Each structure stands twice: as C-alpha cells, then as structure tokens.
Structure 1
Amino acid sequence: MNKPDYQLIIVGGGPAGLTAGLYAARGRIKTLLIEKGATGGQVLMTDWVDNYPAFADGVTGFELMDKMTAHAERFGLEKKFAAVESLDLRGDLKKIRLDSGEILTAQAVILCTGAKPRQIGVPGEAELQGKGVSYCATCDGPFYRNQEIAVVGGGNTAIQEAIHLTHFAKKVTVIHRRDSLRATAVLQEKALANEKINFIWNAQVSEILGADGVEAVRIKHNDDSASVLPVTGIFVLIGVKANNEALPLEQLQTDADGFLITDSEMACPGLPGVYAAGDIRSKKFRQIINAAGEGANAELSAEHYLGILPG
C-alpha cells in the first residue's frame, strides 16, 4: 500500500467534525479536517443556542462554534478550506479529490458533511433566519413563550413539532398548501383537537415580514386571495436535505432521503475505516449535542480501526 498522506481525514467542520478533530489532534493522530466554508456548519446561522451544556446563560451560535474551533486548534488540528469534488472510500487507502484537482489519501475517513433545512424560498426568509425564522422547534420553541407563531408544513415532522410548540406558544397557526394533512392519523387527531392550534388550509407563505425580527407573514391562498398573519416567529418544517452531493452514494448505504446509515459505533457498513457523524447520519434527532457525541464516537472507532486503541 502506498503511504497515505494522513491517518485520518474528516470531511466537514460542524460540531461533529470539530469534535472528531479535537479528539484526533489530542490523540496525536495525523489528521486533516476539510471544510469548504467556515468551521461551524449550520450552527453559525443560529442566533442563540440555549440548550448546550455548560453555557447556563446561553451562547450565540457563532461563539459556540468559535470556541469549538479554538479548542481543536489548541491541540494542533490541521484544517484545509476546500470543496471536496469526489471520494473513493474503498480499500485500505481512501482517496479524496478536491475541486482544485488535488488528491489526498488517508487510512480512515469520517464523513461529517451535515444537512440543510428545506426552505420555502420567499422574501424575508434568509434575512430573518435566526431572528424569528427557525427550522427546529426543539431548538427554538422555548424562545416563544406566550407568543403567537406559525408553522409551515403538513407532514409528521411539522404536526408533531406544532404540538410540541403549544407547550410554549399562546397560539400556533399551521399553514398548509393542501386541504388535508399528510401526517399520520394519530398526530392529526391530536393536532386538530388541540385548542392552541389553528389551521390555514390551501395556502402558502409568500413573504415573511419584519425589520429586526419577524412581525408577520403574508399568505397567498389557492383562490389567489391574500392575507397577513401577525406572528413573532415562523417554523419552516418541510424536511431537511442531506449534504451528500460529493459523496460516493454507490459505495455507501443510505436511507430513502439520502442520509448515511451507520452502526452504533458510527461505522459505514461494508467500508472498513469509514465513519459518519452528525446531521448526515440517518437518525431521528439532529441536535448540536448529539452531533458532537457522534463525532467523538466516530473518532474513537477510527482509532480502534487504526490500531491505536486496544480492544
């Protein structure tokens, strides 16, 4: 086997990748973390994180990721800012081609490419992201105590999260483009019976209004009429997309939505030395804390594969 450039390459620099990088650098493994943008992933777009342990007063998404990055750098983690064009994860020598044409090799690889929320793509959505526009009710619901908010979507996630939001909000209005929900019957029954949940059927959000925060949403109804709904927050819950464009999906096992299937130790089946962690994994909950834990698990599994950890 040709001598690899690195023992371990981590693709993606969000919470999972940075934690894996921290563990690897601290273990003095020759490691490279590749990130196409700034380290931090989706958390950089989160205005405020109020549920990460050890930050009792909360922390901005930027500050949390800045501290994670600094922690990994303290142990000398090598980083490279570049886009990955393709990967070949088969065999003992994993190959990663960058968009520059450079090819890097490693004995082990951890895939932490993450995911992104599906957006509705209307004016005001990008501008007010983190300022009333949210894609995670579990993350941001407690910020909306006794307020009136909107939920976009009609599937299981949207309706389940709408029910969850009633624990905080005074009123939750579900905006759905059809005249019936796609969620399972049990969830529909719970939502329709909840006095805090209202429904606007056959309608779509056409604009999110507000200056420093969400103040209202403009709604276009299927009969071409329009209305404005005053709210202080809007949760867009129409699913997430896997960041898997550069991944060799023919080599990996994925679920129906393109997220990577792993075992409990974060190993990708049929590919010795290949692991996945964070939001790119097929799983139910996508939180900063479990992404970080998976990153640590994946790195320790990689150390075992490399023969560094016993047992």
Structure 2
Amino acid sequence: MTEEKVKVLIIGSGPAGYTAAIYASRAGLNPVLVTGGEPGGQLTTTNDVENFPGYPEGINGPAMMVDLQKQAERFGTDIRYGLVTSVDFSGYPHKAVVDEKHEITADAIIISTGASAKYLGLESEAKLMNQGVSACAVCDGFFYKGKDVAVVGAGDTAAEEALYLANICPKVHMIVRRDEMRASTIMQERVKNAANIEIHWNSSTEEVLGENEVTGIRIVDNVSGEKSEIPLSGFFVAIGHKPNTDIFKDYLDTDESGYLLVEPGTSKTKVEGVFVTGDAADRVYRQAITAAGSGCMGALDAERFLAAKEFEMAQ
C-alpha cells in the first residue's frame, strides 16, 4: 500500500466538499479532495437548480458542480477521483485509505460525504428520475406549480413536503403505507386539515406512469388488493435519507439515523482535527446552500485548529 502525508484531506465532493476546498486552498492549506463514488454529490442527479444564490436564470445541477470543482482547482485544490474505503482516527495525525490501496495521513480531515435519498426501488421510478420523480419538494416543487402531485411517505419529512406542495399545487396525494402516520401529532393535524391534501391510507405505489415524463401513478390498497390510477405530474419520494457515514462510526458519534454529531454551531466532532460538513451531519435542511455554508465552516474550523497546533508545537 502506498502512503502519503498531507495537511488537509477533504472526503467527498458536492457543495460542502468543494466549498471547504475553496476556503482551505485560499488559506494556503493545500487540501487534497477525494471525490467519493458520486463526484458532485446529489446535485448531479438534479436537472435544474433555481434556488442557489448567484444563478438568476438557474443552472443545471451537474454544471453547477463542475463550476464549483473548477473554482476549487483554480486555487490549488488537488482533486482526485476515488473512494475513501476506511479511516483510522485512533491516533494523531489521522489516516484514511483510498480505494483500499493508498493511505493518506492528514493533520486535519473534513468529512463531506453527504447523504443519499432512499427510493422505493421501482424500475419506473428510476426511469423517470428528474422527469417528474424527485426526492426533494423544496428543490423541485416549483416546477410543478399549478399541477397535481403525490408524496409517498408517512414521517415528518413527508408531511412537510406535502404541506409545502399544497401551497403551490391544486391537489396533493399523500401515499401512506399503513393506516397511521409516523409524523408528529401537530404535523399530522396540519396535513389532515389541508383541504387540498388527500391521504391514501394502507396504500403502496406499484408503478410510476409515463414515458418521458410522469403522467400518474398506480397504487394498490394493501388490505383489499384493489388497484387504482391517479393522474398527476410530479411524484415526490419522502421516505428518508441515509447519511454516507458508515466508515466513521467506530470513531465518531452519530444519531439514531447515522448522521454525524458535531459541537453545536461548529463543524467539530469529538475527535480532535476531524470536522463534518454538509448532509453527513444535517438531517434538517439538506439544501445545497446550507451544505456550502457548512463547508465554509469546516475549512475555517480546520484552519484555526491547525494554526493552534502549530503554535502549540512552537512553544
């Protein structure tokens, strides 16, 4: 196995990783960024981004990630395509192994591995991704303003997405697998009291209908087995996200869903010199702009940590 020593290692790309890279490289920290298995993160699966400041006409998601990558490279970030397959935070400096064959030792590590949306696993769902199928109503709901849509899920996130869509869509169909919701009582009441939200209890989505765009869904009643089709234009999956944090769990604290825990108001973890940014720690907002902001925080926290370390060693 080959070995290498760097000052700052950024694990993961996307808005958080690239923003951390921009700040770290401008601070002269010579960061190395390992992109991960999905370079650019979740935004590479999004067609149009219209809510990120600075793009008045909107921008294609993959194109935006290319812009961020170029900006990071402009200031000297060493961007490498690969996957960090294991880490060792038991000592200092910290270690990470890339593609199981190259070990990097780093004085500071910024984790920007993000989270992945959970989907139903339907072939039709995958076929119509970004053509009416989405996992983020706040991101994509605007494109379905004035059109009928559906939300699948039963938790707080699903309820929030349904309520958000109910403000801009004439009809929102909420597909709930059981005869009850997991959402908090207050969120359930809001959904039930919304005149244009129709809840389909004990129902599962069998197929998303359409060829080049969503035209409807076929649902099945889990009790009677009866099937029905609902015409609509947008299908939003809100059954949760899985943070990409498994390789860190032996060293860092997580919540019950696997999101990494940080010191409130910072990107600091319980391990000295390890910082977390973006959706790997954010289970609430999960937006490109909040991820970018936390990437800035991670780089600034790392810079201050390294400066304090150098001062300490100089004494």
For structure 2, the 5+ residue unaligned runs are none
Decide which moves more: 98-107 or 112-121: 98-107
Q: Quote the residue 2:74 is aligned against.
A: 74
Alpha-carbon distance in 2 for matches of 1:213, 1:89: 47
Identity of aligned residues (%): 37
Give CA deviations for 1:93-113 in whole Å, capped at 9, x if unaligned.
111112232211000000011
How does 1:10-159 map onto structure 2 within 5 Å? 10-37=10-37, 39-159=39-159
Residues 10 and 110 in structure 2, CA contact (< 8 A), matched pair in contact too: yes
Give CA deviations for 1:98-154 in whole Å, capped at 9, x if unaligned.
223221100000001100011111122112112211111111122211110001011
Amino acid at match of 1:230: P
Decide which moves more: 297-306 or 71-80: 71-80
Alpha-carbon distance in 2 for matches of 1:106, 1:173: 49
Alpha-carbon distance in 1 for matches of 2:282, 2:28: 30
Q: Quote the residue 2:236 is aligned against.
A: 235
Q: Secondary structure at the match of 2:307?
A: coil
RMSD: 1.7
Amino acid at match of 1:251: Y
Q: Secondary structure at the match of 1:181?
A: coil
Higher-helix-fraction structure: 2
For structure 1, the 5+ residue unaligned runs are none
Shift of 1:89: 1.8
Amino acid at match of 1:237: A
Q: Quote the residue 1:301 is aligned against.
A: 301
Alpha-carbon distance in 1 for matches of 2:38, 2:174: 34
Alpha-carbon distance in 1 for matches of 2:155, 2:283: 17
Alpha-carbon distance in 2 for matches of 1:62, 1:283: 23
Shift of 1:38: 5.0
Give CA deviations for 1:164-203 in whole Å, capped at 9, x if unaligned.
1111111000011111222122222221111100111111
Shift of 1:228: 1.2
Amino acid at match of 2:173: T
Q: Quote the residue 2:192 is aligned against.
A: 192
Moved over 6 A (4+): none
Amino acid at match of 1:159: A
Amino acid at match of 1:122: L
Residues 39 and 69 in structure 1, CA contact (< 8 A), matched pair in contact too: no
Amino acid at match of 2:21: G
Residues 30 and 76 in structure 2, CA contact (< 8 A), matched pair in contact too: no
For this pair of structures, how many residues does the alignment match? 306
State the TM-score, normalized to the length of structure 1. 0.94
Decide which moves more: 235-244 or 29-38: 29-38
Decide which moves more: 83-92 or 44-53: 83-92
Alpha-carbon distance in 2 for matches of 1:286, 1:74: 27
Residues 255 and 282 in structure 1, CA contact (< 8 A), matched pair in contact too: no
